[in-house]
Amino acid sequence: MTTITAEQAAIQIKQAYATEMRQRGEQSGWVTVVALMNRLDLTVEQMAAGARHLARQGGWAVAPTSNQKTLTDLDRACALWIGGQWKHVISAN
């Protein structure tokens, strides 16, 4: 895995998010971290850095899944530790 900056990871996340939204036929909405990671060649740490970068820029939200009982083992393995919480979904505001 090559070293990438948080800004580079954020760009990749935006692109993967846009692709996911196009495939759904939607403008915006919540996308799981797992769905985005399936489209990207990023580590969980790089994904978290990119997500933090997006959240700091504004216009993006990273949140935990409201119903934790629905999380799969993969959801838990790909969760991003941000702001003292495990986050599972990302959305453009």
pLDDT of residue 40: 96
Total domains in the chain come to 1
pTM: 0.91
Assign residue 29 a region (left: φ > 0; alpha: ψ between -120 and 50; beta: otherwise): left
Q: Yes or no: say if 60 and 9 are a contact pair by the CB < 8 Å rule.
A: no
| Within-domain flag for 1 | no
For the residues 19-46, what does the mean pLDDT come to? 94
Residue 68: CATH number of its domain: 1.10.10
pLDDT of residue 1: 54
Q: Yes or no: say if 74 and 34 are a contact pair by the CB < 8 Å rule.
A: yes
The model's pLDDT over 3-32, given as tens digits with 9 standing for 90+, comes to 899 999 999 999 999 999 999 999 889 999
The model's pLDDT over 62-86, given as tens digits with 9 standing for 90+, comes to 999 999 999 999 999 999 999 999 9
The closest of 60, 64, 77, 47 to 18, measured between CA atoms, is: 60
Confidence of residue 93 (pLDDT cuts 50, 70, 90): confident
| Within-domain flag for 48 | yes
